Amino acid sequence: MTETALMQTDLDRLSERVERAAQLVQKLRDEAQRATQERDELSQRTADLEQKLQGQDVAALLQELGTLRREQKDWQSERRDVASRVESMLKKLEKLEA
């Protein structure tokens, strides 16, 4: 090969590498922009949530949550008791019908 042909081949390879690098840089810029937008959105959501929670007593909320959980357990227990009683009555009715 002649020196001119070698230089042309080297220039072509260099041109391809530069083009790939430019594409990669653009892709990274786009990703950075998306990440920045996502960060800003998350920051705004965090600020909104903090504002909603402002002035609320965390200990009181936890205590209320505990109370609600106890009430839920009581209701579930009562529901089981009622279901048991209904089942017992149904069995008694079946015996009477037999």
What pLDDT, on a 0 to 100 scale, did the predictor assign at position 83?
A: 92
Rounded distance between C-alpha atoms, residue 61 and residue 55, angstroms = 11
11 or 69: which carries more pLDDT confidence?
Answer: 69
Tokens standing for 59?
Answer: 């200990």
Where is mean pLDDT largest: 4-8, 11-15, 65-69, 89-93?
Answer: 65-69
pLDDT tens-digit map of 9-41: 888 888 899 999 999 999 999 999 999 999 999
What pLDDT, on a 0 to 100 scale, did the predictor assign at position 56?
A: 81
What letters, b where the CB count within 10 A reaches 16 and e where it falls short, cover 48-62? eeeeeeeeeeeeeee
pLDDT tens-digit map of 36-62: 999 999 999 999 988 887 878 888 889
